[in-house]
Amino acid sequence: MRRILLALVAIALLMGASTLFIDYRFWYRWHTLPEDAGEWPASYYKPTAEVPGNPGPFFPTVAEGEESIDPAALEAAAAWAEAHNSAALIVLHRGKVQLERYWQGIGPDSLFTGRAMTRSLLPSLLAIAREEGAIESFDDPIGKYVAQWRDEPEGQITLRELLYNLSGLETAPLAGDRDTDNKNTRLSLGGNFRKAALDFELENTTGEFLAFANVNPQLLAMALESATGEDYEDYLNSRLWAPLGAGTAVMYMDSSNGMPAVYCCFRATPHDWLRYGAALLSDGLVDGRRIWPQGWVEEMTTPSEVYDLYAYQIWTGNPG
C-alpha cells in the first residue's frame, strides 16, 4: 500500500511539473518581463530568426545649403521628435536625405524594435502572394489556409476582415496584464504562437466594428505560410527585405525553428525602416524594379467602411 501511495505521489508530481514547464519559454519571459513599459532589452528577444536581406547603397545626403525643405522646418521637426521620446528621425525628400538625427544611444546601424510598424510589413507580403497566385483572394476564409479552423465558425473570418481588424475575435487585455491565463500574454510571451492564436474565439459578429488585436496579423501570417509553403521570415526576406536592399534584421520567435511574432518586435536599422517607407511612397518601385503590384499602396491604405481611420494593418489617421 505504501508503495502504491508513493507511486501516486510521484505521478502527481510529474504531472504538475509537466504542466508548469510544458511552456518554459513563457514562464521565463513572464518572470523576467520588465516592469517598465518601455523598450525591452535586446537580450529579451530570444530566440530570434535572422532576415539577412541584401544590403545596398543608402539614399544620398543632400549637400548643405541645397535642402529641398526649409532648414528651419527640419530643425523644428527634429526638436518635436526629440521632445516626444523619438529614437531616430530621417527625412527623405526628392530622393535625398534632408536631415538625420538619433537619440537614446541609437545610430544609423543600430537594430531597434519597430513595435507596431512590424505589422505593416505583412499586408505587402500578402499582396505579393496574391499576385503570385498562392492566395486567390483576400475574401477567402481563413479556414481555407488554416486547417485547424476549417470546420469551425472562426474559419469563416476572411483575410480581409483580419487585415481590417474586423475579425470579431475576443479582445483580451494586452500583454502588460501579467495574468498568466491572459490569451494576449500567451500570444506575446509563449513558446507556440500558432497554438496561442488558435485559442482565440469569436466574441462579436464578424465585420461589425474594429478591434485592434495582435491575433489578427498572427493568423494572417499563418495563412501566408500555409499558402506559400515557406516560413514567414524566409518569404519576407526573398520577396521584400532583400529586394529593398535592406541589411540584416531579426525577428522575435516563439521557439527555435518555430514562428516569429509578426505584430511586433521586428528589429531593423533606421536606414532599413526608411527603405520600406520610401518603397510605399513609390508604390513598390525600387531601383526601377516593382516589388509588389502597381496600385497596391492605394488598396492597402483604403479604410474599411466600418472605421475610416484604419486600413490593412495600418493607421490612416490619428484616432485621437
pLDDT tens, residue by residue, 199-242: 999 999 999 989 989 999 999 999 999 999 999 999 999 999 99
Question: Grid coordinates in use for 57?
Answer: 547603397
Mapping DSSP to helix (H, G, I), strand (E, B) and coil, where does residue 141 land? strand
DSSP sequence for 45-108: S-SEEEE-----PPPPBPPTT--SS-HHHHHHHHHHHHHTT-SEEEEEETTEEEEEEE-TT--T
Cell of 121: 510589413
Most confident residue range from 12-26, 35-49, 132-146: 132-146
Beta-bridged to residue 289, according to DSSP, are 286
Mean local confidence (pLDDT), 146-153: 96
Q: Which amino acid is at 142?
A: I
Q: Which three cell numbers stand for residue 166?
A: 474586423
**pLDDT on residue 19:** 43
- Please tell me the predicted confidence (pLDDT) of residue 163: 98
What's residue 37's pLDDT?
A: 54
Q: What's the CA gap between 201 and 169, in Å, rounded? A: 6
Confidence at 166, pLDDT banded by 50, 70, 90: very high
Contact (Cβ atoms closer than 8 angstroms) between residue 191 and residue 258: yes
pLDDT at 178: 65
Taking each continuous run of H as one helix and of E as one strand, the counts in the chain are 11, 8
* pLDDT at residue 175 greater than cutoff 70: no
User: In the block, which residue shows the cell 516560413?
Assistant: 231
pLDDT at 319: 77
pLDDT (mean) for 149-177? 88
Q: How many CA atoms lie within 13 A of 135 on its CB side?
A: 28
- Calculate helix-pair angle for 2-21, 24-32, nearest 10 degrees: 60
Q: How confident is the model at residue 188 (pLDDT cuts 50, 70, 90)?
A: confident
Q: Indicate the pLDDT class of residue 267, thresholds 50, 70 and 90.
A: very high
Q: Name which of 23-27, 70-74, 178-182 the model is least confident about.
A: 178-182
What SS3 state is found at 124?
helix
Give the tens place of pLDDT for each residue, 68-126: 999 999 999 999 999 999 999 999 999 999 999 999 999 999 998 888 899 999 999 99
What is the rounded average pLDDT of the residues 137-151? 97
